[in-house]
Amino acid sequence: MTIIKKSSAEIEAMKEAGRLSAKVLREVGALVRPGVSTLELDQCAEELIRQEGGVPAFKGYGGFPGSICASVNEQIVHGIPSASVVLKEGDIISIDTGAIVDGWVGDNAWTFPVGTISPEKQRLLDVTEKCMWTGLEAARAGNRLGDVGHAIQAVAEAAGYGVVREYVGHGIGRNMHEEPNVPNYGHRHTGVKLEVGMVLAIEPMINMGTHKTRPMPDGWLVCTRDSKPSAHFEKTVAITEEGPVVLTTEEGHRRPV
């Protein structure tokens, strides 16, 4: 296993891909409403990325056809955008998108409510977002990968939710998926030691019910086994001397978690 660490100059360069990835996620998220199809959201994302000189990181990756993954309700990840998937009041939708700028990749995701959602779904979103921030906070030099996973798992399971096992976060750099895998579960003080210069995409996928998954016949989409809703939040973060720094942000990039 080779983890490609980034110099501070390389981390600076990655901020542009991160900025664009965050901007696209925000702008596409603002279009989420009842009646919109996930294909419309995808087309908007691709246009925004290309307008700013980026390349959609997902499009063509392993043959994936979209510039976003759009995963609604019980869909966990990797939903293919489609004209036939039209959002309805009360849905939740995970939008995952990334941009390549100057050869560097940014990757981020957010789960948005469609109109008014049930308190149960809102709680799932709140807890899953908290899982992400808790995991980011643990992404510090000297900690281990198991500390990140444990932190995420503890928040999710305290809320009575299931942590998806089969799909995990990842290292990121010139490639979208680099070593190491970043599980959203684990044991403290175990796994790879985190070092300054590592850049990780931390992305908890949390299910309202069972953690078990059900891959769908298109070869991409993954749903919950029990058809209960799932949420997904992701940011790309650099491990620096000053602590974790989120790269997928429009806010000047400097803010440690």
Residue 103 and residue 80: Cα distance in Å, rounded? 24
Q: Tell whether residue 107 is a contact of Mg ion (CB under 5 A).
A: yes
Pairing state of beta strands 199-202 and 222-224?
unpaired
Residue 170 Cβ vs Mg ion, minimum distance, rounded to whole Å: 6
- Separation of alpha carbons 158 and 188, rounded Å: 16
Q: Per rule CB under 5 A, is residue 201 in the interface with Mg ion?
A: yes
Q: Which helix (H) or strand (E) holds 67?
A: none
CB 156 within 8 Å of CB 165: no
CB 51 → Mg ion: shortest distance, Å? 23
Q: Which stretch binds Mg ion (CB under 5 A): 157-165, 188-196, 197-205, 211-219?
A: 197-205
For Mg ion, the closer of residues 115 and 215 by Cβ is 215
Structure-token match 């939903």, residue found: 79
Q: Which is nearer to Mg ion, 16 or 178 (CB)?
A: 178
Q: Which is nearer to Mg ion, 117 or 138 (CB)?
A: 138
Stretch that binds Mg ion, among 63-71, 84-92, 140-148, 201-209 (CB under 5 A): 201-209
Q: Determine, following the binding rule CB under 5 A, whether residue 222 of this chain makes contact with Mg ion.
A: no
Contact 224, 213 (CB under 8 A): yes
Stretch that binds Mg ion, among 1-9, 104-112, 141-149, 181-189 (CB under 5 A): 104-112
Whether the CA torsion 146, 161, 157, 132 is positive or negative: it is positive
Q: Confirm or reject binding of residue 178 to Mg ion (CB under 5 A).
A: no
Which range binds Mg ion by CB under 5 A, 25-33, 119-127, 157-165, 194-202? 194-202
* CB proximity list for 73: less than 8 A, separation 6 or greater: 91, 92, 229, 230
Residue 46 sits in the site that holds Mg ion (CB under 5 A): no
Cα–Cα nearest to 106, from 192, 39, 203, 221: 203
CB of 107 to Mg ion, least distance (A): 4
- Could you list the residues that contact Mg ion (CB under 5 A)? 107, 201
